[in-house]
């Protein structure tokens, strides 16, 4: 049996460009996994092995790797920072026990760091904070600590102080031991000396050390008394308190360094061992039934219990599909048969591998607490639970957001459409926030996703990885329709033609529902004027019609139908007659209920240097944005606004031009809101023209 207390499943997450991947590289070098360090900006990092990642210098997929430090096994997942891939972050956090949040010492807490932090809070993941890039111009450790406190409402527990900043940054002082770690300029992380604290920093070290101990002892009443009585606490006692507080999320041990210059990373690794939980210390995953209700059972981390595992990522490579799986309880052996609760099918495990970025080592078995990849699983998607067929259970079902943007893709070469279909099928398995549909009228293939960059990357993967050249249509926004007026109406459906006829009469009310309520149906029929057995048919007739609105054929939302009265014929009435009547009633009444077009509104968070703030606000106003807040910080201004998605195409290019390349933004879907009349007219006209062109 493996000793689970020596396991750490951790993720590294942060904003774009804070240095996550570089930090991961340093960790792999220190732990002896790689001998030569690859650089991101040279496109040679170990965990960024996709061509698209190497070119753009950003991480798209979460890569998994295993390494050892101080006799502890680390399973590390390097997660993307870019907003369009937050689903990757979310999915990874789900299966991690702890994380390292990386922040840039000059950029501080950036828009995306907030989103990622929020996700980590939702998943209750314990974290250590690492403030990177202290060698950069404008780096300020104390400012970022304050920002973490103010912006993220998290309590940073300062564990080290930097010695010098910007070009003069040479090392850090460890507050617990009161020792200075000083590195030379050779760039070798092992070339350091442990010295006494520089005289100029003594006062600061004592001040911060006191703060550190005071915060830590709050976790243990006995030690607190001891401390208040003036006894000196041993380092192990303090560490015990810090560990407890970190796992309870009371505070976050904070470190600093420069990954690129190889300074300070060792202490972070020690902190992972000392303070982050092992798989047995994390709250066990609740088990749910197939509807998603909790059963009161938990997947306890114990190899003797029945198998519970979660597939959290699918990756397709040259050897077939790889299913990354986190084992919560039980043991998984090569040759076992397991049950997938989502499909109800059993599968045999033919090969198990341990991953190191894109190298792999074959293993025969894995147990609770491990993260492994299974080769060649058939019908498994992200979020599926794999379990023991004799004792089935489901771990929490994953909910994925609805896509907000779509584009059409057509293969340029004849005869490659089948190849494209297979490639898209694989990509949907890998990324549940990516959808593929075929337009029933035009026969085009439509891909949908979370943003422009998301789809841009998908098209790129089609071209490179799967060798399918495609033409891309203009981006289409996922509009919706709704009604604004209450209308009472009735409809009679009669058909008499040899044999039995069809008859159905319904009286009903159509009215707007609450925002976000979707489709509601209610019956207030009394006295048996419409027999109870026909009610579902009326509901079905309405429910199947709302997919197509009357303005431009977009799905209709937030409306309520109430069936109030009607009539039937003892011979000629049937369920089908009532269903047809409801469909015709929908087409008859909706145009009378003042239908309107709704558009997706995005929550936009823009960061710009202060000099360009006016231009950025003016530009958001031009895009029909509603400014929610603006605040200025030492590095620039933050503007939060709600902007319609249709106005945000190509925004990144415009923002970069406007701010001389220094602006950044992130956006996520917020809600649907009514479209102004002039915009609605244009959208309806374009949609009708497109349909007419497709019909030819």
| Model pLDDT for residues 497-519, shown as the tens digit of each residue | 666 778 889 999 999 888 777 88
Q: Can you read off the two tokens belonging to residue 544?
A: 């199947």
Q: For the purposes of burial, counting CB atoms within 10 Å of the CB of 209, is it exposed (0-12), middle (13-18) or buried (19 or more)?
A: buried
> What pLDDT, on the 0 to 100 scale, is given for residue 289?
63
Return the H-helix or E-strand segment holding 599: strand 595-608
Residue 341 and residue 288: Cα distance in Å, rounded?
A: 11
Of 435, 419, 438, give the one whose Cα is nearest residue 427: 435
Q: How far is CA 673 from CA 374, 601, 646, in A?
A: 44, 7, 12
Nearest-10 crossing angle of helices 613-622, 651-658: 150
The CA distance from 170 to 334, in Å, is: 49
Helices (H), 316-470: 417-430, 452-464
Cross-strand pairs, 642: 603, 626
Name which of 48, 52, 58 is nearest 16 in CA terms. 58
Per-residue model confidence as pLDDT tens digits over 165-200: 777 788 888 888 888 888 777 767 777 788 888 888
Task: For residues 423 and 525, give the distance between their C-alpha atoms in angstroms, rounded to a whole number.
Answer: 51
Name the 3-class secondary structure at 268: helix
pLDDT value of residue 16: 56
Cα–Cα nearest to 328, from 312, 308, 298 = 308
Q: What pLDDT does residue 627 have?
A: 92
* CA distance linking residue 13 with residue 117, whole number of Å: 9
Question: Are the beta carbons of 445 and 410 closer than 8 angstroms?
Answer: yes
CA distance 655 to 672: 24
**What local confidence, expressed as pLDDT, does residue 320 receive?**
66
pLDDT at 394: 77
Q: Which residues of the chain have pLDDT under 70?
A: 1-2, 14-21, 24-26, 28-29, 31-64, 78-92, 111-112, 115, 187, 289-296, 316-320, 355-360, 396-401, 440-442, 497-499, 634-635, 694-696
SS3 558: coil
User: What pLDDT, on the 0 to 100 scale, is given for residue 401?
Assistant: 65
Side-chain-side CA neighbours of residue 554 (13 Å): 23
For 120, left (φ over 0), alpha (ψ -120 to 50), or beta? alpha
So what's the pLDDT on residue 42?
Answer: 37
Tell me the C-alpha distance between 648 and 626, whole Å.
13
Taking alpha carbons only, the member of 245, 50, 263 closest to residue 136 is 263
Beta strands in 343-398 (DSSP E): 345-348, 351-356, 359-363, 365-367, 371-375, 385-387, 394-395
Binning the chain into helix, strand and coil, the percentages to the nearest 5 are: 30, 35, 35
How far apart CA 315 and CA 323 sit, in angstroms, is: 7
Is the dihedral angle over the CA atoms 256, 261, 262, 263 positive or is it negative?
A: negative
User: With left for phi above 0 and alpha for psi between -120 and 50, is residue 479 left, alpha or beta?
Assistant: beta
Q: Are 5 and 164 in contact (CB under 8 A)?
A: no
Q: Concatenated DSSP letters for 387-425?
A: E-TTS--EEPPP--PPP-EEEEEEESSTT-HHHHHHHHH
Cβ-Cβ contacts under 8 Å for 495 (sequence gap 6 or more): 501, 502, 503, 577
Per the DSSP assignment, residues forming a β-bridge with 523 are 563
List Cα–Cα distances, 647 to 291, 348, 398, 552, 619, in angstroms.
Answer: 39, 50, 31, 19, 11
Nearest to 272 by CA among 129, 432, 81: 129
């Amino acid at each position: 049996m493996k000793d689970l207390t020596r396991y750490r499943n951790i993720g590294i997450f942060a904003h774009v460009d804070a240095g996550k991947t570089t930090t991961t590289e340093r960790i792999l070098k220190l732990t002896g996994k790689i001998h030569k360090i690859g650089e991101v900006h040279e496109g040679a990092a170990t965990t960024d092995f996709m061509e698209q990642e190497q070119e753009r210098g950003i991480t798209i997929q979460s890569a998994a790797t295993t390494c050892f430090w101080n006799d502890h096994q680390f399973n590390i997942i390097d997660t993307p920072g870019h907003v369009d891939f937050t689903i990757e972050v979310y999915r990874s956090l789900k299966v991690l026990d702890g994380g390292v949040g990386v922040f840039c010492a000059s950029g501080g807490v950036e828009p995306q760091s907030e989103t990622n932090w929020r996700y980590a809070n939702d998943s209750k993941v314990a974290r250590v904070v690492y403030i990177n890039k202290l060698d950069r111009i404008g780096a300020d450790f104390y400012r970022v600590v304050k920002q973490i406190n103010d912006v993220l409402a998290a309590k940073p527990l300062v564990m080290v102080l930097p010695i010098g900043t910007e070009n003069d940054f040479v090392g850090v002082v460890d507050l617990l031991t009161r020792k200075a770690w000083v590195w030379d300029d050779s760039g070798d992380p092992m070339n350091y000396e442990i010295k006494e604290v520089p005289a100029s920093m003594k006062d600061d070290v004592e001040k911060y050390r006191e703060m550190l101990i005071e915060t830590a002892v709050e976790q243990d009443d006995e030690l607190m008394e001891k401390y208040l009585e003036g006894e000196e606490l041993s380092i192990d006692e303090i560490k015990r308190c810090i560990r407890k507080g970190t796992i309870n999320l009371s505070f976050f041990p904070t470190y600093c360094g420069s990954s690129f210059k190889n300074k300070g990373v060792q202490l972070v690794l020690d902190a992972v061992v000392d303070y982050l939980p092992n798989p047995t210390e994390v709250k066990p995953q609740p088990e749910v039934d197939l509807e998603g209700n909790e059963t009161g059972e938990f997947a306890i981390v114990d190899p003797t219990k029945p198998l519970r595992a979660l597939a959290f990522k699918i990756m397709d490579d040259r050897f077939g599909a790889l299913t990354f799986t986190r084992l919560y309880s039980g043991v998984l052996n090569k040759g076992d048969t397991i049950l997938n609760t989502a499909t109800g099918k059993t599968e045999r495990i033919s090969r198990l591998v341990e991953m190191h970025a894109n190298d792999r080592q074959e293993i025969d078995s894995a147990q609770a607490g491990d993260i492994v990849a299974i080769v060649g699983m058939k019908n498994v998607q992200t979020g599926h639970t794999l379990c023991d067929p004799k004792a089935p259970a489901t771990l929490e079902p994953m909910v994925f957001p609805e896509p907000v943007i779509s584009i059409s893709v057509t293969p340029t070469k004849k005869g490659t459409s089948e190849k494209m279909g297979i490639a898209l099928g694989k990509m949907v398995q890998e990324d549940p926030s990516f959808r593929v549909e075929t337009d029933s009228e035009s026969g085009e293939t439509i891909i949908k996703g979370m943003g422009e960059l998301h789809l841009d990357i998908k098209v790129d993967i089609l071209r490179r990885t799967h060798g399918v050249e495609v033409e891309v249509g203009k981006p289409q926004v996922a509009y919706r329709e709704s009604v604004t007026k209450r209308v009472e109406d009735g409809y009679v459906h009669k058909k008499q033609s040899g044999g039995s006829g069809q008859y159905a009469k319904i009286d009903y009310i159509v009215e707007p529902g609450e925002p976000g309520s979707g489709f509601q149906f209610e019956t207030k029929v009394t006295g048996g004027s419409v027999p109870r057995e026909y009610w579902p048919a009326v509901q079905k007739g309405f429910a199947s019609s709302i997919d197509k609105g009357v303005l431009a054929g977009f799905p209709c939302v937030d409306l309520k139908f109430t069936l109030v009265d009607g009539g039937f014929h003892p011979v000629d009435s049937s369920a089908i007659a009532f269903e047809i009547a409801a469909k015709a009633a929908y087409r008859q009444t909706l145009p009378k209920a003042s239908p309107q077009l709704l558009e997706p509104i995005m929550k936009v968070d823009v960061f710009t240097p202060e000099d360009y703030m006016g231009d950025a606000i003016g530009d958001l106003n031009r895009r029909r944005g509603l400014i929610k807040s603006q605040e200025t910080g030492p590095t620039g201004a933050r503007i939060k606004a709600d902007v319609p998605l249709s106005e945000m195409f190509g925004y990144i290019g415009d923002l970069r031009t406007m701010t001389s390349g220094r602006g950044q933004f992130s956006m996520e879907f917020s809600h649907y809101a009514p479209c102004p009349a002039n915009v609605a007219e244009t959208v309806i006209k374009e949609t009708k023209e497109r349909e007419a062109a497709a019909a030819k």
